[in-house]
Amino acid sequence: MNLQHIPTWFKNINFFHDEYIDMRIPAALINDENKLLEENVEAKIKEITSKQLDIDENIDRIQLLENHHKIIQDELRTIQRLLIVRRTEETTEQSHVDIDLNEIQRLKRLTMNLDNELIRFNKRKTSFEVEIEQLNKEISIISNETLMEKDALEKLIESIKKHDDETFCFMKYTREDNSRIKVRN
């Protein structure tokens, strides 16, 4: 809906910007009758401008009223839907009770299943704890055996080192003896 029709001759004036096309009669052609006509034209232009502003304001009001009407229509439809739902609720209250009872039964079954799962979980936990305890004992036994083997190995290494030291000393003396024998020969 376009209520803002502006005549083409009115487009020459734009009061809201600094543009103005002077359409007055040149001073040489001015006489009383022309002055009167020019004043009438300016008055009509001001009147038209005022009317155009009124039209713009009325268009805004119409738009606001249309928006308000839409909001009211939406509220009315919502209220009608709520009324229908309320009436339906009154007639289906027993079905809600039935649904609640079914839900209670379902929750009881679920609770029983969860209890059974918890019992199975606790059994598995106990089994794992026993297995972990046995593994810890085995680890302890292996650790003790490893420590004993380590001690035995350290003693063996120490005796080998002693034996090596003795062997080196023996070889040293043997070389010295060999070199003395060679020197005598």
pLDDT at 59: 94
Written as six digits, the tokens of 137 are: 């004992």
Give the C-alpha separation, 33 to 44, whole Å: 16
Give the C-alpha separation, 160 to 152, whole Å: 12
pLDDT at 26: 57
Across 133-137, average pLDDT: 95
Instruction: Give the lowest-confidence range in 3-12, 35-44, 71-80, 154-163.
Output: 3-12
% helix, strand, coil for the chain, step of 5: 85, 0, 10
94 vs 76 pLDDT, higher one? 76
Written as six digits, the tokens of 51 are: 């009317």
pLDDT at 9 over 60: no
What is the separation of C-alpha 151 from the centre of its chain, rounded to a whole number of angstroms?
62
pLDDT at 103: 94
Give the C-alpha separation, 153 to 146, whole Å: 10
Element containing residue 65 per DSSP (H, E):
helix 32-91
Whether the full predicted model's pTM is greater than 0.95, yes or no, is no
Give the C-alpha separation, 108 to 115, whole Å: 10
Helix pair 93-184, 32-91: axis angle to 10 deg: 90
pLDDT at 27: 55
Determine contact, residues 3/55, Cβ cutoff 8 Å: yes
Kindly list the domain boundaries of the chain, sorted by start residue. Answer: 8-91
